[in-house]
Amino acid sequence: MTKQSHDVFPYWKYTCLWTTLFICGCVTVDSSAKLDESVRLTEARTGYEPEWHVPWDGDSPLWDGRSALELDTAVVLSLRNNRTLRGQLEMIGQANADLVQAGLLQNPTLNFMIMFPEGGGRSMLRSGGFPMQALSDLWLIPARKDAAGLELQKAILNVAQSAIDLAAEAKKKYARIQYFQRAVELIQANMRIVEQSTKIIQTQQSAGKAGQVDVNLSRIRQQRLQSELIQHQSEMAMAKRELLTLMGFAQANADWKVDPLDELKQEVDPAHDENELLALALEQRIDLLAAHWGVQAAQARINLMKRSVLDHVAIGFTFERGPAPRSSDVRVPGKVGNILANNALRSAAGMPLMSVPEIMPFSAQPNVIDFMSGPMLDMEIPIFDQNQAQIAKAIHEYNQNVAEFEALQQSVVENVRRTSVQQQQDYEQVELYRQSILPEVESNLKLARQSYTAGQVDLTVYLLVQEDLIKTRLEALTFTRDYLLSRAELERAVGGSMILKQIENIPPTESAPAQSDLETEVNHD
């Protein structure tokens, strides 16, 4: 082809071309909208709005670290300040960046080569007149975006699931602290009664009405209560430290209390119907939704691997200017050189000027310059590597995700049933103590008080009945704590809230495609 005119592409067309390329390159990577999806999902499942758009607080205005800590405050601070959870939030940004990257065209390539002739003259030029652009993006970008979009949705759900787990763990630790706080009070009350009993027995011993064995038994009982008190105080301190760590206040002291727990007035409800709980869990469990998206993402990667058989196809425009000898248009230095050479030759020969032939050592052959231009195609020929290994790997990854999804469903069913049984048992135990055992013990204490007033029983008997009442209330407190723990665990098992709230853009969990169906599709392709 001949040399092309510069008027082929007017200036305005170049301006439009480079403006388009500039706009395509100005892609922003902002994951705040995706983070909002996880925030809304967490709030719907837990009832608490995580404040993830603000930095975590070392000194939160919600709690000063000394006053009584409420349950809602503990959960809110855990969701906001927990460092592990805040670190997991970055997974959303990473997945969103992968999605943006998946939708970008490959950068065009521009090559330029210059070669210098040995004998001088104009150098040879070879270059792509326009940058080469990969055509494989046309069929790879949609598949890459599908896989990356599914992975982003999975990351959003995984963060929400971690938040639900964290909220449940904060509730459980809070319930343990409530139990230890109340148990310490009951043990201390019991110790005061035993101490009174010991003094009475010592007085009776002085009067010859009791022996040393009676005194020793009372002291041993008091020492055992002291040991139990030390154990409960230590476990309460450790539970407080664990909750402080969840809340992001590991450096704070543990000299604070929680809302008191009343073993007689704490609200308890029987467990819901097991089938209803199972249906709720299968519908709103976040980790099941995430596993479902993982299966879909694995299926999208199979499609991507199939399309990647031709992953290097590019088109461009090239031109080449061939080499040429030195120019025949002799410049001033060349003309001067020719004159000097002729004068030197004639002087050396001693001949007249007209008899010596003229020489032109600094002249060149005629200069011929040819330009060649045209389109260029650069592609890989898939003869040996047809990406069959990566396709097979993607199929195995898909099968693994299907198996993990089914295993998680089995685990969810087992966890809901087990926790439901445990909560029902705790509920029945609490009700048994409240309706039967504690009234009987309180009635017996009332009878012992009347008998002691009437002089029918000794004071030690009356104190023993009082001690038995405190022990019984401690047992009722233990079952109340177990009920609170099982309730928090059951909320986590069903996916957060006992009342299902639909979330926009979050489809319900569906069964994953069967292995056989996918294998048939792959073999057919």
CATH classification at residue 37? 1.20.1600.10
How far apart are alpha carbons 465 and 460 in whole angstroms?
Answer: 9
9, part of any domain: no
Q: What is the pTM assigned to this prediction?
A: 0.76
166, part of any domain: yes
What pLDDT, on a 0 to 100 scale, did the predictor assign at position 440? 93
How far apart are alpha carbons 301 and 147 in whole angstroms?
Answer: 6
Tell me the residue range of the domain where 98 lies: 28-103+135-311+387-524
Relative to beta strand 124-134, strand 371-379 is: unpaired
350, part of any domain: no
Residue 277 identity: L
503, part of any domain: yes
Task: Calculate the alpha carbon distances from 124 to 118, 121, 329, 365, 372 in Å.
Answer: 11, 9, 19, 17, 12
184, part of any domain: yes
Structurally, the chain folds into a number of domains equal to: 1
**Spans of the chain below 50 pLDDT:** 1-14, 16-18, 21, 500-525
231, part of any domain: yes
372, part of any domain: no
What pLDDT, on a 0 to 100 scale, did the predictor assign at position 513? 43
Task: Calculate the alpha carbon distances from 240 to 68, 178, 249, 315 in Å.
Answer: 12, 10, 10, 66
What pLDDT, on a 0 to 100 scale, did the predictor assign at position 510? 44
146, part of any domain: yes
